[in-house]
Structure formats: structure tokens, C-alpha cells
């Protein structure tokens, strides 16, 4: 199958400098969703028709060497420029040179992001192996502005655009979604013969339906499983509506696999979220990139997880932010904790409130429960990191590593000036500034001796004259 995706429109009603098809839905450009659906059908040829701000669109989906596409699957994308934009028929005509005559052609739209592979497969089957035209149509309670499907004796005979319709035609509720499959050799001929004698002065792709009927080619109609599959985006309002619909779909899919959501209306998934058994997620959580949650993981309210792996029985308490990190089995993180990229927590770790980890590994049974910063560090097992502790990993030019071996106790308000090592079983007294190795099984303290000055008077504020 050939697949053509129309993505040349300006999107005036978006009121944005960003091309319409690059606006994100669930963290992915609108066009990215359509490309995913297209690639699921394993097309022989994939053509994107681009136009306004087209180089931005191409750059978003090209490989670093300027060819192909960085998204999964094959084939690479062929790009067809439509300039000026003279209608949908004109747009598909720009893609015609790339299309193989022996394969039927499916036409999709870069601003209709939620059409499902299942519906597209049913549409392809309705084309009788590419011998017929198959239309994706929809019955709408309010079809205002949409092209109407005209039938005779129950069969589709033509499509009339809203601006060209008379009063009787406007009462029809079955509409054209624009998505169709057609035999490619005939499609090319029909496109070449299109005229623009209509209210908009454009070349309508929909006019090929009447041409097919005239040539004795059957036209079959297929309805999608859900109305939202064919909804497009022409404004920020419509984008927000589709975002909520998509999130509802994702939430339903999670609950149907056994995930407990405190409120399915208050979760945002902007990537992929894989969950084990008996996972529970509280309200207002955001999942970005690739996130995996093991069995019995609990996520507290208002957490953000990006490209993170949380192992079984771990708990992430409210208001925590985890990015590019791994949390070991049975560990407890938060509330108000931040794990930055490169962080790997072992089993049964505790990372508490207002603690930040960056590019640090911590072995089993260790904890940092309060108000600490740990960066560029290797921490052993059964280590206690006291409140107010920081690893001073940056000298203003380079990052340096801190090593804390097993069974170490770090007293509160300590500063470990990297590069530095704390040996096995060592104890650092509260308030220590460590600049060289702390020996094993010994107490290390570096703080000024306490002094009391008798008779000392606190300064008094001078009175204004």
C-alpha cells in the first residue's frame, strides 16, 4: 500500500508560528501520531505533502543525515512540496509521482491524529484489494462545515462540500472524513482531470468519488469505531479537546489492565507507560518518555516521571520529580524529592523530602532522608546521609566524583568536597567539611572548636537623628 499524509496547511486558527502538524498531543507532534498509524500498516511507500513552514516539518521527522525518518519502521519518508496550496486534490497530485501504480493509495491527514490502525485496516479491506474506492465516513449530530455523503439507492455516488451544498443537502448528517483508499492508477487519472469550479476555487479530492462512479468503480463506505478517530485539529481549543480524549483513552486502557487510578480524568501520559500488576497512581501525575512501573508500585499525587524505571514495591511520594533514573525494589522516594538523570537507587533505599540526586548510584539499604544534594557519587550499602549534606562535585569548571563505601554514617550539615572518598564504616561528625579521605571505621570531624565570649554585647541599631 502507498500512504499519503497531507500536512501542508498553515493552521491560521492556531495563532502560532509553529506549523499546525507539529503542535504536540500527548507529548508527540500531531503528525507523529499519524505516522505511527501509517507505519503500522507497513506501507510500500510513505509520502508526506508539506507546505507552510515545511522545512520545520521535514526537520522534525528526518534522520540526522537528512534522509529517511528517525521514527520506527520502514520505509523512509518521501516529501512532496505543495506550494501554493490549492486544495486537497492538488495536494495528493503533488505526491502522485512517488506512488506505485500496483499498490492502492491511502490518504491521511496530518491534523487528524487519533485514527486507529484497526480502522485503517478495515478501510483497506473495504477497497477490495485496491479495486474499489473506500471512504471513511461518519454520522455527525452537527455536520456544519463538512462535506456531505450523497447516496442513491444506498450507494455512495458523490460528495458535496458544505459551501457548495443546497438546503436539502445540508440536512444530511453523514459526512466525509477525507480519509480514503483508491486504486492508484485510476487515482492519478482522476486527479489530473480535477477542476476548481466551486465556491473555494480549489481542487477537491472529494471530486474523485463522482469520477469513480462515472467510471464504474465501486465506492464503499466504512464507519470508524468511535467519533473521536476522525476529529481534526484546527484551533488550540480543538487541540485541547483531543488531548483530553486521548488521555481518557489511555487511562481506560490502563484501568482495563488492572492499574488503579485515583481519578482517570487527572493523569497525563506523554510517551509510553508500562505497568505491572496492582500498580496505583494518585491524581495529577505526568508520565513522559518511556516509563515502567513494576508490580505493586505506588505513585503519589502530583509526581512527574520522565524516562524512569521504578521497580516492584517501590513508593514515590507526592510532589516528586524523577527523570532519567532507576528506583530499586522496595525503595521509598519523596515527598518533594528530585532524581535527575544518571541516578540509580538500589533496593530498600530511602530518598526523602527535599533531597536531590544527580548521576549517583546508591546500593541497598542506604538512605538520605532530608535536605541533601548528592551528585556524581557512588554510595555503598547501609549508608546514612544526614540532613543538610551536600557533595561539592563542581569546582567551577569540572565535575568530580565522591565515593562513599558501605556502612558509612554522614553527620548532618556535612560537605564532601570532591574528589574524595569515605572508607567503609567511617563516621563523619555533624558540620564536617571533608577535603581528603576519611579512613575506615573511624570518626572524622573538621569543625572549629566552640568558643564562648563572656560579656559580649550584641550591636544595637543606631537611632535616626
Catalytic residues: 370
User: 181: which strand partners?
Assistant: 106, 134
**DSSP, res 453:** -
**DSSP, res 394:** B
Q: Which of these, 96, 84, 24, lies nearest to 50 by C-alpha position?
A: 84
**DSSP, res 96:** G
3-state secondary structure of 355: coil
Q: Which are the contacts of 38, defined by CB distance < 8 A and separation ≥ 6? A: 3, 5, 46, 106, 108, 120
User: 378: which strand partners?
Assistant: 361, 403
First to last CA, the chain: 91
Cell of 51: 507546505
- What is the sign, positive or negative, of the torsion defined by CA atoms of 13, 14, 17, 20? negative
**DSSP, res 106:** E
Q: Which of these, 183, 115, 173, lies nearest to 144 by C-alpha position?
A: 173
**DSSP, res 234:** S
Task: For the chain, state the CA radius of gyration.
Answer: 31
Q: Given the C-alpha cell 507497513, which residue does it identify?
A: 42
d(CA 28, CA 231): 17
Report how far Cα 448 is from the mean position of its chain's Cα atoms: 53
Largest Cα–Cα distance of the chain, in whole Å? 110
Q: Given the C-alpha cell 503542535, which residue does it identify?
A: 23
Q: Which of these, 320, 280, 283, 281, lies nearest to 304 by C-alpha position?
A: 320
Cell of 319: 510532589
Peptide bond connecting 75 to the previous residue in cis, omega within 30 degrees of 0: yes
The angle that helices 184-192 and 88-95 make with each other, rounded to 10 degrees, is 130
Cell of 15: 495563532
Q: Which of these, 170, 104, 113, lies nearest to 132 by C-alpha position?
A: 104
Amino acid at each position: 500500500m502507498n500512504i499519503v499524509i497531507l500536512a501542508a496547511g498553515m493552521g491560521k486558527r492556531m495563532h502560532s508560528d509553529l506549523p499546525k502538524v507539529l503542535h504536540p498531543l500527548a507529548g508527540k507532534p500531531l503528525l507523529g501520531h499519524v505516522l505511527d498509524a501509517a507505519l503500522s500498516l507497513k506501507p510500500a511507500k510513505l509520502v508526506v505533502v508539506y507546505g507552510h513552514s515545511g522545512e520545520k516539518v521535514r526537520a522534525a521527522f528526518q534522520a540526522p543525515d537528512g534522509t529517511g525518518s528517525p521514527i520506527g519502521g520502514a520505509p523512509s519518508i518521501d516529501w512532496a512540496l505543495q506550494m501554493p496550496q490549492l486544495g486537497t486534490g492538488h495536494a495528493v497530485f503533488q505526491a502522485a509521482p512517488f506512488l506505485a501504480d500496483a499498490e492502492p493509495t491511502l490518504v491521511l491527514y496530518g491534523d487528524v491524529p487519533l485514527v486507529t490502525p484497526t480502522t485503517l485496516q478495515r478501510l483497506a479491506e473495504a477497497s477490495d484489494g485496491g479495486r474499489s474506492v473506500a471512504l471513511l465516513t461518519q454520522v455527525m449530530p452537527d455536520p456544519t462545515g463538512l462535506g456531505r455523503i450523497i447516496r442513491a439507492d444506498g450507494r455512495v455516488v458523490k460528495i458535496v462540500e458544505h459551501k457548495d451544498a443546497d438546503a436539502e443537502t445540508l440536512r444530511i448528517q453523514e459526512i466525509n472524513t477525507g480519509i480514503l483508499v483508491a486504486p492508484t492508477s485510476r487515482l492519478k487519472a482522476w486527479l489530473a482531470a480535477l477542476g476548481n469550479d466551486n465556491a473555494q476555487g480549489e481542487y477537491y479530492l472529494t471530486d474523485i468519488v463522482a469520477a469513480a462512479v462515472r467510471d464504474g468503480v465501486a465506492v464503499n463506505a466504512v464507519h470508524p469505531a468511535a467519533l473521536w478517530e476522525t476529529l481534526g485539529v484546527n484551533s488550540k481549543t480543538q487541540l485541547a479537546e483531543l488531548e483530553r480524549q486521548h488521555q481518557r483513552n489511555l487511562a481506560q486502557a490502563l484501568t482495563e489492565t488492572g492499574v488503579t487510578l485515583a481519578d482517570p480524568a487527572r493523569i497525563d501520559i506523554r510517551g509510553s507507560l508500562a505497568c505491572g500488576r496492582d500498580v496505583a497512581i494518585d491524581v495529577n501525575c505526568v508520565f513522559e518518555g518511556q516509563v515502567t512501573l513494576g508490580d505493586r508500585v505506588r505513585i503519589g499525587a502530583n509526581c512527574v516521571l520522565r524516562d524512569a524505571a521504578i521497580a516492584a514495591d517501590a513508593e514515590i511520594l507526592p510532589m516528586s520529580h524523577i527523570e532519567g533514573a532507576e528506583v530499586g525494589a522496595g525503595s521509598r522516594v519523596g515527598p518533594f524529592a528530585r532524581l535527575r538523570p544518571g541516578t540509580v537507587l538500589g533496593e530498600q533505599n530511602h530518598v526523602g523530602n527535599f533531597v536531590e540526586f544527580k548521576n549517583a548510584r546508591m546500593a541497598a539499604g542506604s538512605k538520605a532522608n532530608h535536605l541533601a544534594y548528592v551528585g556524581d557519587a557512588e554510595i555503598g550499602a547501609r549508608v546514612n546521609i544526614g540532613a543538610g549534606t551536600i557533595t561539592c562535585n563542581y569546582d567551577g569548571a569540572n565535575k568530580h566524583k565522591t565515593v562513599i563505601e558501605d556502612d558509612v554514617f554522614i553527620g548532618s550539615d556535612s560537605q564532601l568536597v570532591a574528589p574524595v572518598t569515605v572508607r567503609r564504616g567511617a563516621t563523619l561528625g555533624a558540620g564536617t567539611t571533608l577535603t581528603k579521605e576519611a579512613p575506615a571505621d573511624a570518626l572524622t570531624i573538621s569543625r572549629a572548636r566552640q568558643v564562648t565570649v563572656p560579656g559580649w554585647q550584641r550591636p544595637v541599631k543606631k537611632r535616626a537623628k
